[in-house]
Amino acid sequence: MTDTARYTRSDFQTEQEVRWCPGCGDYTILATVQSYLAGLDFDRDKHVFISGIGCSSRFPYYMNTYGIHSVHGRAPAVASGVATANPDLTVWVVTGDGDGLSIGGNHLIHALRRNVNLKILLFNNEIYGLTKGQYSPTSEQGKRTKTSPLGSIDYPFNPVSLALGSEATFVARTIDMDRKHMTAVIDKAYHHEGAAFIEIYQNCNVFNDKAFAELTSREVRDENRVYLEDGKPIVFGKDNEHGIVIGVTGAEIVNVADVGIDAIHVHNEAEPEPGVAFALSRLSLGPHGPTPIGVFRNITRPSYGRLMAQQLLDAQEAKGPGDLHALIRSSGTWTA
Backbone angles phi, psi at 100, to 5 degrees: -85, -25
Q: Please indicate, yes or no, if residue 253 is contained in any of the structural domains.
A: no
What type of residue sits at position 101? L
The pLDDT assigned to 319 comes to: 83
CA angle centred on 149, ends 144 and 153, rounded to 5° = 70
Residue 187 has pLDDT above 60, yes or no: yes
The Cα–Cα gap between 105 and 83 comes to 19
Looking at every residue in the chain, the average pLDDT score rounds to: 94
Determine the Cα–Cα distance for residues 219 and 106; give it in Å rounded to an integer: 39
Mean pLDDT throughout 158-183? 97
The pLDDT value recorded for residue 320 is 82
Least confident span in 228-232, 258-262, 310-314, 331-335: 331-335
- Domain membership of residue 68 (yes or no) is yes
Number of separate domains in the chain: 1
Answer yes or no: is 224 within a domain. no
CATH of residue 145's domain is 3.40.50.970
Please name the amino acid found at residue 83: A
pLDDT of 262: 96
Query: Closest by alpha carbon to 93, among 64, 43, 130, 59?
Result: 59
Cβ atoms 85, 42 nearer than 8 A: no
Q: How far apart are CA 211 and CA 208, in angstroms?
A: 6
Q: Which residues pair with 251 in a beta bridge?
A: 246
Per residue in 280-302, pLDDT tens? 999 998 899 999 999 999 999 99
What does the pLDDT read at residue 2? 46
Residue 240 placed within a domain: no
The residue-averaged pLDDT of 244-253 equals 94
Q: How confident is the model at residue 1 (pLDDT cuts 50, 70, 90)?
A: very low
Contacts of 218 (CB under 8 A, 6+ apart): none
Whether residue 78 is contained in a domain is answered as yes
For residue 255, being part of any structural domain is answered with: no
Q: Does residue 275 lie in a domain region?
A: no
**What is the average per-residue pLDDT within 19-26?**
95
Poorest-pLDDT segment among 65-74, 82-91, 203-212, 322-331? 322-331
Q: What percent of the chain has pLDDT over 90?
A: 90
Instruction: Give mean pLDDT, residues 261-265.
Output: 97
Q: Within the chain, what is the greatest distance between any pair of CA atoms?
A: 80
CA angle 183, 282, 156 (to 5 degrees): 90
* Contacts (Cβ under 8 Å, ≥6 apart) of 285: 140, 156, 158
Question: What pLDDT does 317 receive?
Answer: 86
Could you read off the pLDDT of 77-136 as tens digits, one per residue?
999 999 999 999 999 999 999 999 999 999 999 999 999 999 999 999 999 999 999 999
Q: What count of other Cβ atoms lies within 10 Å of the Cβ of residue 133?
A: 16
**Residue 142 belongs to some domain of the structure:** yes
What 3-state DSSP class applies to 130? coil
Confidence of residue 336 (pLDDT cuts 50, 70, 90): low
Domain coverage including residue 76: 9-211+302-306
The reply to whether the predicted model has a pTM over 0.85 is yes
Q: How confident is the model at residue 318 (pLDDT cuts 50, 70, 90)?
A: confident
pLDDT of residue 286: 86
